Amino acid sequence: MKRKNVIKNILMIAALGIAIMFFTNVIFAANTAKISVETANLRETADENSRILVQLSLNDEVEVLQKTNNWYEVKTKNGTTGYLREDLVKVSGDVEEAQNNSEEANTAETNTTESNTETTENQEQDTTEVITQESGTRIVKEDTKLKIVPSINATDIIEVKQNDEVTIIETMGDWICIEQGTTKGWIRSDKLMTVEEKEKQDEEAKAAEEAAKQEAQKAEEETKKQTTKTMYANSATVNVRKEASKDSSIVEQIKLNTAVTVLSEENGWSKVSVNGKEGYVASNLLSSSKTQETATSRGGVTREKTTEDKTKTTTTTTTTPSSGKGATVVETAKNYIGYRYVYGAAGPNSFDCSGFTSYVFKLHGVSLNRTAKAQYSNGTAVSRSDLQPGDLVMFGPSVSGINHVGIYIGGGQIVHAANPSRGVTIDTINSGYYNNNYVGARRVI
């Protein structure tokens, strides 16, 4: 009998040993643990790629339910059950000591498994919906760092660069888990954009670049127009030559006062365009205004060359300023606001700056020289502090470099033919370009 009892005890010990070996990877515990890192992800299963259920913070307490390999199954104070890596928690007590009998543990495990299966099915369904909405490729808007967990203060993993393409894994609030190559990390959603948004951004940038290019070309063309000027032959016959040399062949002969467009000047020669042809004229054979012819007492003709540097006394009458007349001139000038600026034009439908002033004053019986610089010879000088409506106001780097003229309308403003893009308009002379390049004023009425 005693021997039978010994054998029976040996068999029970062996069975117990087999059971312990079978459950060696799943050891039940009823201990508590604290989070030992700044942020820890509670995952749905014991897998690094498993869905994150909730984020726990440093020193948060959880109940340890069991351990599987290097993962703890835990339960939070809010009742959420999930898995934490063992390196993220500090467990109090001996985890390997089982405190529930196997029958109760099996029953609890069965119930937990059924509950978790149902919960997992629902969670997987929800997760699928989220991933479906956020899946695909995204473009990084600007250089930024990937975080190990979805938190501003979390540890950086790698830096992703602007315009890098990344793959969406999952989302959590304002954070998106992305994958680049073999690296996964978290990034704020506002740091990413869709491929369609990137394409639209590129199209807008290309359109803006093209618009800027066209604007630059337009400005260059307008600059070229403004650098050209109209001059007049000041001799009875002027030769237009093929090259800038007296020995070059003649392409055209022009008469006194023939208008030419000067394209450029160099070494005493002017490149001109006249009658549809281009060539070179000695610069001293051209003047900025026409040469006037007056009859002599013997019936001959005397030619008076009126230049920008010579006062044209024959066409200017000095009169006492009249505010009434000046105001009338201003009202006439304002009627042309909005008309086009065309270089060399003097009305009635388009003007350049001096063409505009000449046209307006001609309507009031006053003849002015044709260019802005030449008009500085008309009338009498007026100080800036004594300006009255109807006065001519000149601008440029200096008196010898006057290149613009307008009609003073009062209140520190002028009406003038500004440029090809603005036409006839009103501007102040008390600031900006016109203030800085003010030369002087003349009273002609």
Catalytic residue chosen out of the listed positions 51, 312, 416, 443: 416
Structure tokens at 215: 């604007």
Q: CA 272: distance to chain centroid?
A: 41
Catalytic residue chosen out of the listed positions 67, 138, 290, 404: 404
**CA dihedral sign of residues 380, 383, 386, 391:** positive
Q: Please confirm, yes or no, whether 353 is among the known catalytic residues.
A: yes
Catalytic residue chosen out of the listed positions 176, 192, 286, 353: 353
Q: Please confirm, yes or no, whether 364 is among the known catalytic residues.
A: no
Q: Which residues form the catalytic set?
A: 353, 404, 416
